[in-house]
Structure 1
Amino acid sequence: MTTFVDRVELHVAAGSGGHGCASVHREKFKPLGGPDGGNGGRGGDVILVVDQSVTTLLDYHHSPHRKATNGKPGEGGNRSGKDGQDLVLPVPDGTVILDKAGNVLADLVGQGTTYVAAQGGRGGLGNAALASARRKAPGFALLGVAGDLQDIVLELKTVADIALVGYPSAGKSSLISVLSAAKPKIADYPFTTLVPNLGVVTAGSTVYTIADVPGLIPGASQGKGLGLEFLRHVERCSVLVHVLDTATLESDRDPVSDLDIIEAELKQYGGLDNRPRLVVLNKVDVPDGQDLADLVRPDLEARGYRVYEVSAVAHKGLKELSFALAEMVASARAAKPKEEATRIVIRPKAVDDSGFTVVQEEDGLFRVRGEKPERWVRQTDFNNDEAVGYLADRLNRLGVEDSLMKAGAVAGDGVAIGPEDNAVVFDWEPTVMAGAEMLGRRGEDHRMEEPRPAAQRRRDRQAERDDAEQEYDEFKPF
């Protein structure tokens, strides 16, 4: 038996990007042919897509952990790693995506509507991509970035034109079975219907969908019975139909009081006051049912309701009801505002936006936050001095050092790049004092330079020795 599940918590993980490759091209008579390390592949995304053939979230109830594949690392010979494969998860039409705090992230309505739940990490650049006119032979590559990890909640809200509401055993499922081709489970006891049933009805040129909402009893909006679980399935429906039982065997119930109780629950739930209503007096094939219908109909019409007397068993009054519902659905569709063409809003970055922030915290630690510096730190191999120097150069060009100085940082102060739970912390030394400028032409290899005259080579070597002695005298310990 298929179980209906309309709310699940899903843990999704995107694929991580592959690491870049640090490689040097070598041939028999050309041992230093230049860097040829390829880039790492991009990690796969986790994508939710509406599929009309999917009607429940049952699969995700049993398997709540889903992960996309990682990108492959780059290889020598300028071979880039293969991108990770996106993980596409089909969801029913009308699925709402929320974060764990209950904030709506996306509302997926319509076949093919997609939402990227977790973004795959970008691949690291190989040393071939890092080479430049000044850095001809990088001895390092960038690491791949880890993919996003997200905990999300999926809630299904039935997409239908008409919602049948009423007490258990009022005949909602029977009415759907005779108005459409749907075959719900029907029995004469409370809570026969444990899941919302959907049916498609054709009335003249109008085709509409109809759903019954089970489990509405007094206190449903506070969680009593099954009502709270399924009241959200009413939200997307354009028309509400009260199905009232005129042949109930319970002495303390009558159609008018049933209507008042259900309306009170709908009002308590909220957001449904503007939906047009229609009342169906069901089971008029029973003699006492017809008498009760004749008795309460004037009262209901005096309240402004359109009232129809039907019998799902005897197929009485169904044609008139189906065409009346088609008329209301057509009016509701015509009243909906037309969807405007999607506008592309371009918001250029402010000229004074540096892309990062530097804040001194209460404990004296300076914290740097920003998409670029945080990503650069994650892509750095801290076991490679050249890679660390490359990171220092990038941060310096971005203006991080200048901002630290303006914020009052001095040599030896603690600096953290990233959020509190995942930051790189180090004792800051300005670039000049750290000797990064002395490293000078990082990634250069004189063996790859064009041949120079012997006299020029001697002059260059002497100049390098003079510079080294001067730098030692300037920075030697006392």
Structure 2
Amino acid sequence: MTTFVDRVELHVAAGSGGHGCASVHREKFKPLGGPDGGNGGRGGDVILVVDQAVTTLLDYHHSPHRKATNGKPGAGDARSGGDGSDLVLKVPDGTVVMTKDGELIADLVGHGTTYVAAQGGRGGLGNQALASVRRKAPGFALFGEPGKDQQIVLELKTVADVALVGYPSAGKSSLISVLSAAKPKIADYPFTTLIPNLGVVTAGSTVYTIADVPGLIPGASQGKGLGLEFLRHVERCSVLVHVLDTATLESERDPLTDLDMIETELTEYGGLEGRPRLIVLNKVDIPDGQDLADIIRPDLEARGYQVLEVSAVSRLGLKELSFALAKIVSDARAAKPKEESTRIIIRPKAVDDTGFTVVPEEGFFRILGEKPERWVGQTDFSNDEAVGYLADRLNRLGVESGLVKAGAKEGDEVVIGNGEDAVVFDWEPTMAAGAEMLGRRGEDHRFEAPRPATTRRRERPEEEQDDAQSEYDGFKPLG
């Protein structure tokens, strides 16, 4: 049965916002007391949080689809809907978030580090929030915004100070079991270790973590054996310790050849060239092992390596090894630049960014942009006032001017958005500025107070006219 998973594909979906409410306040002697529809609640986010108590991605291997709850719809009497609950997913320290194409999204290191994997949709506005001086009683409300969803890949890269690397059965698991309180599986056959094991070592005043990486063989960097699955667990380690078996029973192997092979695989994997190395000659408690250690040690030291002879069984040389590693780890920590406080990177929009683009296509014009597409999704197309409100918003954004510049003519087909959610309109240019206004979409003249007979209506300058297109139904959905 699988107990350790370090890579999963996860589909996360945030909650959708609740719909706004269209309601009119009513009471005795006040049948039309004004709009009182409340706003919809916000949809819940999907949030990844690093938890040191979690060591595997197994839960997401069994349940790869996760969804936050939706916001509640608004109600009359100005009651806003409740927000959806955020879905918090706990992940191990060192989890990397990527797209399916391998593009890095986030690198989660450190207990409590969070990342919003999918953002909940905003709630739709009720007709009370949509009311204004000119639009006193809107007979419509906005739909809630759909929550974001995406397919992500979670990949675990072990966070440790020291990585023990070497051939299968070189004694790495035995070493970590005597250096720390870790209790890995130990046996005399290859590939005993099928998952990375972590242990905590205390040497004087220095405390560091040590990882036992599953055995590597030739071709590991290309995926042979278990290598490619676990080589990534070496990436974050500050120190690499080559564990060489001086008492191997395989006649075609020797410690120097093993070292060259492992170094070749590490080089081909890449990114590990500058890490400090230390050589551990293991199993010197065996007579033949000690003899071989005496023969190869001068060659290793001539290559510039620090060499220690140890025995996990008799515990020979373990104290020296733990303190030697503590010194290397301390030096590596001191050389590492201090982590800067969290920075917010602001990417301002371009000066000429209109918030949308008009793309001429064969037989129609497509409008793309976050605002137009969101507004379309929030519009109730069965309500004429809502459609008119959408047209006003699009025109204020400059969509009509963009269509004119792109060469659109009256009656041309206009598509907003992509895919199945796209909305198709027949475009009609707005009425000329200064045309007689009969009223504004969304207004209810029943709330207009009668004007005294002596009152004269002030003539407004042309630039103050209420967007000559206010009576124009410019963008009408087909069908």
* TM-score (normalizing by structure 1): 0.92
Q: Structure 1 residues 414-423 or 398-407, which shifts more?
A: 414-423
Structure 1 residue 128 displacement after superposition: 0.1
Which aligned pairs between 1:388-467 and structure 2 lie closer than 5 A?
A: 388-420=387-419, 422-432=421-431, 440-452=439-451
- Helix, strand or coil at the partner of 1:178: helix
Which aligned pairs between 1:112-123 and structure 2 lie closer than 5 A?
A: 112-123=112-123
What is the aligned partner in structure 1 of residue 88 from structure 2?
A: 88
- Helix, strand or coil at the partner of 1:281: strand
Tell me the distance in 2 between the aligned counterparts of 1:254 and 1:445: 91
Q: 1:386 to 1:438 in 2, by over 3 A?
A: farther
Tell me the distance in 1 between the aligned counterparts of 2:385 and 2:299: 86
Note the alpha carbon deviations across 1:264-319, whole angstroms, 9 max, x for none: 11111111111110000000111111111111101111111100000000010000
Which aligned pairs between 1:294-373 and structure 2 lie closer than 5 A?
A: 294-361=294-361, 363-373=362-372
Structure 1 residue 184 displacement after superposition: 0.6
The one-letter code of the counterpart of 1:165 is V
Tell me the distance in 2 between the aligned counterparts of 1:94 and 1:208: 16
Tell me the distance in 2 between the aligned counterparts of 1:408 and 1:22: 38
Tell me the distance in 1 between the aligned counterparts of 2:343 and 2:328: 32
Task: Answer whether contact 1:431 1:437 (CA < 8 A) is retained.
Answer: no
- Helix, strand or coil at the partner of 2:11: strand
Tell me the distance in 2 between the aligned counterparts of 1:34 and 1:247: 90
Structure 1 residue 336 displacement after superposition: 0.8
Which aligned pairs between 1:58-69 and structure 2 lie closer than 5 A?
A: 58-69=58-69
- Helix, strand or coil at the partner of 1:431: coil
Tell me the distance in 2 between the aligned counterparts of 1:421 and 1:269: 43
The one-letter code of the counterpart of 1:30 is K
- Helix, strand or coil at the partner of 1:97: strand
Task: Answer whether contact 1:16 1:71 (CA < 8 A) is retained.
Answer: yes
RMSD: 1.8
Task: Answer whether contact 2:170 2:244 (CA < 8 A) is retained.
Answer: yes
Structure 1 residue 364 displacement after superposition: 3.4
Structure 1 residue 424 displacement after superposition: 1.2
Structure 2: runs of 5+ lacking an equivalent: 456-470, 472-479
Tell me the distance in 2 between the aligned counterparts of 1:15 and 1:384: 25
- Helix, strand or coil at the partner of 1:432: coil
Task: Answer whether contact 2:11 2:151 (CA < 8 A) is retained.
Answer: yes
The one-letter code of the counterpart of 2:130 is L
Structure 1 residue 410 displacement after superposition: 0.5
Structure 1 residue 341 displacement after superposition: 3.4
Note the alpha carbon deviations across 1:178-219, whole angstroms, 9 max, x for none: 000111110110011110000000001100000011030111
Tell me the distance in 1 between the aligned counterparts of 2:445 and 2:67: 46
Which aligned pairs between 1:122-201 and structure 2 lie closer than 5 A?
A: 122-201=122-201
Note the alpha carbon deviations across 1:18-68, whole angstroms, 9 max, x for none: 000000000012110000000000110100010000000000000000000
Which aligned pairs between 1:170-249 and structure 2 lie closer than 5 A?
A: 170-249=170-249
Note the alpha carbon deviations across 1:201-256, whole angstroms, 9 max, x for none: 00011000000110301111111111111000000000000000011111111111
Task: Answer whether contact 2:165 2:215 (CA < 8 A) is retained.
Answer: no
Note the alpha carbon deviations across 1:108-159, whole angstroms, 9 max, x for none: 0001111111111111000000000000000000001111110000000000
Tell me the distance in 2 between the aligned counterparts of 1:17 and 1:288: 72
Note the alpha carbon deviations across 1:334-358, whole angstroms, 9 max, x for none: 1111223344444443443211111
Tell whether 2:69 aligns with 1:78: no
- Helix, strand or coil at the partner of 2:415: strand
Tell whether 2:357 aligns with 1:385: no
The one-letter code of the counterpart of 2:319 is K
Tell me the distance in 2 between the aligned counterparts of 1:171 and 1:215: 10
Which aligned pairs between 1:281-292 and structure 2 lie closer than 5 A?
A: 281-292=281-292
The one-letter code of the counterpart of 2:250 is E
- Helix, strand or coil at the partner of 1:200: strand
Which aligned pairs between 1:41-56 and structure 2 lie closer than 5 A?
A: 41-56=41-56
- Helix, strand or coil at the partner of 1:322: helix
Tell me the distance in 1 between the aligned counterparts of 2:350 and 2:260: 57
* Structure 1 segments (4+ residues) deviating >6 Å: 436-439
Tell me the distance in 1 between the aligned counterparts of 2:231 and 2:337: 25
Task: Answer whether contact 1:20 1:124 (CA < 8 A) is retained.
Answer: yes
Structure 1 residue 100 displacement after superposition: 0.8
The one-letter code of the counterpart of 1:311 is S
Task: Answer whether contact 2:19 2:142 (CA < 8 A) is retained.
Answer: yes
Structure 1 residue 420 displacement after superposition: 4.2
What is the aligned partner in structure 2 of residue 103 from structure 1?
A: 103
Tell me the distance in 1 between the aligned counterparts of 2:438 and 2:156: 59
Tell me the distance in 1 between the aligned counterparts of 2:283 and 2:290: 8
The one-letter code of the counterpart of 1:82 is G
Task: Answer whether contact 2:73 2:80 (CA < 8 A) is retained.
Answer: yes
Q: 1:351 to 1:223 in 2, by over 3 A?
A: closer
The one-letter code of the counterpart of 1:429 is E
Q: 1:233 to 1:117 in 2, by over 3 A?
A: same
Task: Answer whether contact 2:246 2:292 (CA < 8 A) is retained.
Answer: yes
Note the alpha carbon deviations across 1:389-436, whole angstroms, 9 max, x for none: 000011111111111111110011111111245321222122339xx9
Task: Answer whether contact 1:392 1:431 (CA < 8 A) is retained.
Answer: no
What is the aligned partner in structure 2 of residue 464 from structure 1?
A: none
Structure 1: runs of 5+ lacking an equivalent: 457-470, 472-478
**Percentage of identical aligned residues:** 84
Tell me the distance in 2 between the aligned counterparts of 1:369 and 1:188: 63
Q: Structure 1 residues 200-209 or 438-447, which shifts more?
A: 438-447
Which aligned pairs between 1:242-261 and structure 2 lie closer than 5 A?
A: 242-261=242-261
Task: Answer whether contact 1:21 1:76 (CA < 8 A) is retained.
Answer: yes
Tell me the distance in 2 between the aligned counterparts of 1:119 and 1:390: 26
The one-letter code of the counterpart of 2:57 is L
* TM-score (normalizing by structure 2): 0.92
Tell me the distance in 2 between the aligned counterparts of 1:443 and 1:413: 26
The one-letter code of the counterpart of 1:349 is K
What is the aligned partner in structure 2 of residue 467 from structure 1?
A: none
Tell me the distance in 1 between the aligned counterparts of 2:87 and 2:419: 30
Tell me the distance in 2 between the aligned counterparts of 1:214 and 1:350: 50
Structure 1 residue 368 displacement after superposition: 1.1
Structure 1 residue 450 displacement after superposition: 2.4
What is the aligned partner in structure 1 of residue 464 from structure 2?
A: none
Q: 1:421 to 1:30 in 2, by over 3 A?
A: closer
What is the aligned partner in structure 1 of residue 10 from structure 2?
A: 10
What is the aligned partner in structure 1 of residue 20 from structure 2?
A: 20
